[in-house]
Amino acid sequence: MSGASDPGLWDAEAPGFDSAPDHGLLDPEVRAAWRDLLLGVLPSSPADVVDLGCGTGTLAVLLAEHGFAVDAVDFSPAMVRLASAKVAAASAPVRRLVTVRTGDAADPGLAPASVDVVLCRHVLWALPDPALAVRRWVGALRPGGRLVLVEGDWSTGAGLTAERCAEIVGESCASVEVRHLPDPRLWGREITDERYLVVAHA
Ligand SMILES: C[S@@+](CC[C@H](N)C(=O)[O-])C[C@H]1O[C@@H](n2cnc3c(N)ncnc32)[C@H](O)[C@@H]1O
């Protein structure tokens, strides 16, 4: 394996990962922007969310703070360690609601119709066969469940355009909504590249 599909690359990213404003959500204003965005597209809690490619567990903890049960999955041992530490340092209710495990986001071993939400931020672009992964994720949704993706076509040259992402998701979902995310409060700065949210239903 090489590049973004190599857990070793993400292990190397893990120690400094949370220093990006949108990763660690350490700035209360950035955290509030992500809370409002995500709560605006998720069902009411309680609900079961799987966070695929959870990184350091920031979104998993954020959602558990709002009553969601989160199965947080990542293939990078260093990311899993940091996510586990973040959960361990959280309040008792959050600790009860989040599990962190090692696994492949592309094939996370979810039972059919077992979750209300598949959440995946900044990971689909890195998967070798994103269409196959989305098909598996959609199969894990309960009736009425939703896929919530955050992706981008970043100035670094990495990523997926919104158009391509909607096409991939549209292969498995009857409804696909793309919302562009230019708001600097989400990123801690002005951005010029394409960043977006996708909400899809089977
Ligand atoms: C850009 S980070 C995003 C982390 C987190 N979703 C967030 O938004 O803060 C990408 C994460 O996806 C993980 N990842 C990439 N490919 C993966 C795969 N096939 N299975 C599991 N995790 C994967 C990496 O280890 C890394 O933690």
CA torsion 147→179→164→127, rounded to 10°? -40
Q: Are 198 and 184 in contact (CB under 8 A)?
A: no
Provide the phi-psi class of 199: left if phi over 0, else alpha when psi is between -120 and 50, else beta.
Answer: beta
Is 195 touching ligand 1 by the criterion CB < 6 Å? no
Give the atom of ligand 1 at the shortest distance from the alpha carbon of 58. 9
pLDDT in tens, 14-26: 999 999 999 999 9
Verify whether ligand 1 is closer than 6 Å to residue 121 (CB atom): yes
pTM of the predicted protein model? 0.97
Q: At what angle do helices 130-139 and 162-170 cross, to 10 degrees?
A: 50
pLDDT tens for each residue of 62-91? 999 999 999 999 999 999 999 999 999 999
